[in-house]
Amino acid sequence: MNITFLGGTETVTGSKYLVETGKTRVLVDCGLFQGFKWLRERNWQPLPLDFASLDAVLLTHAHLDHSGYLPVLYHQGFRGPVYTHHATRDLCRILLADSGHLQEEDARFYAKHRIGRHRSPAPLYDRRTAEDCMALFRTVDFGEDVSIADIRFHLQPAGHILGAASIILEAEGRRVGFSGDVGRPDDIFMQPPQPLPELDLLLLESTYGNRRHPDTDPGRSWLMRSTARRRRAGRC
Ligand SMILES: [Zn+2]
């Protein structure tokens, strides 16, 4: 099994991992590069990948740095299945359409104010393309085994946001874990992330890996900040 990193390395956005066996090719996550302009420009560079030979896309969760490049794949002709949890599908329906809408608005703004080097700036994709690509989604429950030729995978809860999953993928006698974004063990809304099984290789999200969460109760902190603001404004 070969794994090629097409994003999400040396930066925290654009997550895309190409997994290839002798027979099958899947993309794990399909994220937009976001943030600085030099990063966003990477969204316009062609991927070293023949979309026609891609068998499927697997999504860990709906945040755009993991899902927001899907309409580009669709626009370039990818019509294979996109496997993910049903809550991720529902969130993507909102987030991808909104992303397309914002990109159309940005392009109109740049054209109106003649910003940038392009005479007629174009969006990376439009709202219509983002809506159309939703037809590719196939929903999967946590723990459900799915086979794509010689690759098997299942999703397990990762906390973080609704539907967020780690992907446990097995092929050619190896088991690989893609953690996706991992939530807190004591979140007030989300279940804690489920511990990962024994793996041959783990690809671990580490954006905040060098920081400690404060021990303060976020609900109480918010209430105190809100009360202080209201006092300053003379409302209590
Ligand atoms: Zn996320």
Q: What is residue 58's predicted lDDT score, i.e. its pLDDT?
A: 98
Question: Ligand 1 center to residue 180 CA distance, Å?
Answer: 7
Domains and CATH numbers, the chain: 2-209 (3.60.15.10)
Mean pLDDT calculated for residue range 210-229: 75
Q: How far apart are CA 134 and CA 97, in angstroms?
A: 10
Question: Ligand 1 center to residue 149 CA distance, Å?
Answer: 29
Q: What is residue 207's predicted lDDT score, i.e. its pLDDT?
A: 77
For ligand 1, a single-atom ion, the residues with CB < 5 A are 63, 181
Question: Ligand 1 center to residue 183 CA distance, Å?
Answer: 9
What does the pLDDT look like over 105-118, one tens digit per residue?
988 888 887 776 66
Question: Ligand 1 center to residue 160 CA distance, Å?
Answer: 7
Q: How far apart are CA 125 and CA 96, in angstroms?
A: 10
Q: What is residue 38's predicted lDDT score, i.e. its pLDDT?
A: 87
Question: Ligand 1 center to residue 234 CA distance, Å?
Answer: 38
Share of the chain residues as helix, strand and coil, in percent rounded to the nearest 5? 30, 20, 45
What does the pLDDT look like over 2-30, one tens digit per residue?
999 998 887 889 999 999 999 999 999 99
Q: What is residue 233's predicted lDDT score, i.e. its pLDDT?
A: 67
What are the contacts of 8-15 at 24+ separation with CB within 8 A?
8/65, 11/35, 11/39, 12/65, 12/207, 13/39, 13/65, 14/39, 14/42, 14/43, 14/65, 14/69, 15/60, 15/65, 15/66
Q: What confidence category does residue 234 fall into, taking pLDDT thresholds of 50, 70 and 90?
A: low
Poorest-pLDDT segment among 71-75, 114-118, 168-172: 114-118
Question: Ligand 1 center to residue 79 CA distance, Å?
Answer: 25
Question: Ligand 1 center to residue 114 CA distance, Å?
Answer: 34
Mean pLDDT calculated for residue range 129-158: 98
Residue 202 pLDDT > 80? yes
Question: Ligand 1 center to residue 95 CA distance, Å?
Answer: 12
Question: Ligand 1 center to residue 168 CA distance, Å?
Answer: 18
Q: What average pLDDT is seen over the chain?
A: 90
Q: What confidence category does residue 143 fall into, taking pLDDT thresholds of 50, 70 and 90?
A: very high
Mean pLDDT calculated for residue range 76-99: 97
Residue 121 pLDDT > 90? no
